[in-house]
Structures are given as structure tokens and as C-alpha cells.
Structure 1
Amino acid sequence: MNRLNKIIVAIVATILFAGCDKNVVEYDTTPIDDATTAQFQLHYMVPTTTGTANDINKVELNGQLLTNETTPLSTYNAVPSGAVGRFFAAEAGTVNLKLYRGAVNDLTLVYDRDFELPGGKHNVIVHDFDEPPIIIDNDAPYPTITTEHSGTTAWVKFYNLLYEKPGEPTPLRLQYQFQYVTDNNTGTKSEWQNLGSPVAFGEATGWEPIVVNKTVEISSGYARVDYRIRLIGADGSDEGSLQLFNTASGEMRDFSDWWTGYVGRVYHHFLAGNRTEAPVASIRQFTAK
């Protein structure tokens, strides 16, 4: 390398070094103390008919607007919306929550409640306009698993918010169960497996693993997973399948459901609505991660 080339290389190196030194990447974040800061997701699980007439078009916490008609809190839904794993933040302690329903220009205050909001991450569930919300620990951080080969695990947390009829929470203890395809060629399915332990009204399981036997080997991984609910007596005995009112037949039918599970995902499953009359309960799924 001649002298001129050496000089050019030295100049370029100096410029690159100076450029790296001046353009430091910084992340503008605010540290959060779980003891004093509450992070929460707000769920609207009051047994009511779906539709815009029952949407919550204004949410206030301590007089501060959380969301309005541009991102309404729809029936059997949650805010913040629009992304997985988002939370509102507020100072932990006694808070006031107000919910307004109706047309944007004619809002009606339907919920006005003071309650204790603990520090850390929680799910705040409004299930009755005349009752305080149910607050359940979000159980973050979420579970993960590391495998040498392709994974087969997702996680589900089941919430019992079932009403017998309006104003009457269910007295039933519910055991959520799942079943998956063990052989994608024959369609053979596993035995039914318990998802966590039985839960009473207002309770939830932990993050419980389910098996996702994906159908496409070279893929992110997804498969159908079936679910059912069993009734568990005070003595721990299985008392049969949960039955819900079927509006088409006018009869009670065994509950059954299925969802597509993705490997590595973490899901909330909320059972909300009425058991014996419309609006009939069903599972509402939210992705935590």
C-alpha cells in the first residue's frame, strides 16, 4: 500500500470512528417500581348483548381519560387495544374508575367505583356495573421454554366469570380441560387433560401449558386444540360437563370449543356471559404474548 492509500484509509477510519462516537443509540424509558406503580389491562365482561349500543365510549381513571370512542371498550373485550402486551400505568392505591356508555354526544355514566389498585401487573375485570371489579394478578413475566428442536408448547390461563343469569354469579367450580391431535396422519386425539386446577367464580388458573402438535413441520407452528369444562363437586368429584343454554334449540347443551394454538404463544381464556339464558356465555381469547 503506497503512502497516498494509507492516508486515505486513515481518514476514512477517523470519519467512521467519529460517526460512531456521535450517534449513540439511546432508549428513552422510565424505570417502573412495581411497589408504587400499577400496570393494568381493563376487561369489560358484564353479561350483555354485543353491539355498538353497549360499547364503552369513554373510560376515565382518577379523572384522566384512558380511551374514548376512537378506541372504544367493546363488550367482552379489553383495553389498551391494538397490540399484545400493552398496559395502562397509574399510581398504586385507591383509584376511581368511570365508564360511559352510549352515543358519543349522549354518554351515560354506567360505572363509577373506587377500589384499591395494587402495584405490579394485573387484569382489572368489570363484570357487573353494581359491583367492584375483580382484580387478578397478570402473572408476568410470561412462561417460556427453550428446546433444541421445534417447540410444541403454548400456555393458557382460564378465568371463570360465568353468570347463571343476570346478577347471579355461578356457584359452580369449573375444571377447564384440553385435548390435542397426537397423530396428524390418522387424526388420533389425546385423552382429555386438566388445564390447571378447578376455579370458582372470579378466579383464574395460572399459565398452564398445552400441547401444540403443529401440522406444518417447517413453520412457526400452529394446531387446533379442543376444550371442554367439567363441574367439580365440593368433594372433588367430577359431576359431568358444563351445560349452557342453546338459543337455537332452547335446550341446555354441553359446552365445547376449540381454538388454534401457536407454539410459544400465551393466551387468556375468559368464560363470560350467562349459563341459562341469553346472552349465553362463551370463551373470549386474548393474546398475552
Structure 2
Amino acid sequence: MEPEPAMQGERDGRAQVPGDYRLEEERAREMIRVCYEEGILPTDIDPGEIEVTGREVKFILNTTLDEINIKWLKERTVTVIFRDDAHFLPKKVKEDVVRAYEDVWMWDETFGQEFKRERIKAESPNVVSYVPRAQAISGWMLNKKTDYIDLAGTTYRTEFKPWLTRAEIEDWRQLIDQGTFWVVAVGVPLDGMPFLHVHVEKAIGKVLMQHKPEADESDPKLVNLRFDIEPASRENMKDKIFVQTCQGDVLEVKLANADSAWCKRCLTFFHTELTCGRTDR
């Protein structure tokens, strides 16, 4: 005899969601809560559809479960953004800053001294995701919107934003990019630096703002230079600028913009993580 659909669903762990799936959602939310709060990964959750290509595997998640997971994270997670000079604080210091907010709640009468620390995930050099144990904490941080922290005589600014999925961040960036146009000169030759501003402006369009060569003035380096250019000049984008010197040398300056490939592993242009040659070492 073939098992009934409901029994088959329980056997293989897949979410059999009826029209009114409140009970199923409650079970899924509890698995998700235990995963993030206690670090216990679900063993009987629907893994999704599997696609195998050679030694690589791709899973297409169960839509219902994925939406429940995203919904839970959006209810709890706060994106902490470190602005201005706070961008350059060490990772450990940024985590300590988030923990400092947590310390306030640990001794609050609402939660008691049994309140446990929660999960922190560094997303980028100036962005940290924080998953508190209670929506009250998320709501407090989001309502505060911004804060100032004094460390060793220096005041740093932080912002609190709702958590976004990577797809939502990409959509937001595309919307922002529609009204902005920037160009980065990659690996600038030392002897080509004095002429670069006028060369970019002549080849592409009017430069609205030239960013400082280095983010940290105490550690000057010449690697990349960024220029914000009039959006109307977007169609004038070039891939390279060649400069011939009085001695006959030909200098090459590669140009990148928002459409250029970007590797999140080594933080460089013109390739992605899939083709990156950098090893973990």
C-alpha cells in the first residue's frame, strides 16, 4: 500500500502545508528559533530540491519554509551599521559595541539575569547583523535609529536598520545606482596619479566628487581611486585609460564601476568568488 500523503510528509520530513498552515508554521518557527538561539540545527526539515553537477550541489529551498525563516529573521534581526570613523574599528571592538547594548538588557527586570547573549554575524567591514532573543530589543534599537558611542575619548556613530536579505540588498543597490554613477581607477600607477582626475573627466564626464586615496590618513596607500561622475555620462564608461609618458612608457589604468565583477573573498574587481585564485591561507 502507498502511504497517505500526510504520512509520507512526516516520513521524509517535508513540510506538507495545507491552506491554513498556522500549526505547521508554529513548528517551523520553533525549529528556526532553536537553531539561531541554541545553535541546534534541524535534522528533520525539508532540505528542498537537489541538483547535482559533478562535485557541486545546489538546493532549491522549500518556498514556504524559506519564507517562514525570512519572516522570523526580519522580526528579530537588526542591521548595525558603523558610520564614519567607526568603519575602521577592529571587528572585535564592533562586536563588543553590540554586546554593550546587550549588557543593558541582561540586567533588565523584564528579562532577568538568566538573559542569554545572542548571535552576531559580521557581514562586511562596517555592517554587523544582530539577532536578539526578543522582539522588544529589536524594536527598541530600530526605534532609536542611531546612537553615539564614546571609546577612548573618540565618539563613534552607529545606525540601526531592519535586516534585509541579499536579494533585497541587491534590489536596493540597483535603485540607488540608477541615480549615481561612480568609477574606480584600479591599481593606479604612481607616476600617473597627478593626471588621473583630468583624464577621467576628459574621457568619461564631469567629476562631481573625488574620494580620498586612502580611508585611513594614518596609513596612506595608493591602490584605487574613486570618482563620482554625472549620471548622464554613464554611456561614456571606458574599460581602460592608457597614458604615454615623455620617456615612451605606456601606463595602463583599469576602470571599474557598479556593473564590474566584484569578488567578496579578496575584495577586488574583475572577477568573482567562483574564479578567485586566492586560497584560504
> Normalising by structure 1, what TM-score?
0.21
Higher normalized contact order (CA 8 Å, seq sep 6+, divided by chain length): 1
Report the TM-score when normalising by structure 2. 0.21
Which structure shows the bigger proportion of residues in helix conformation?
2
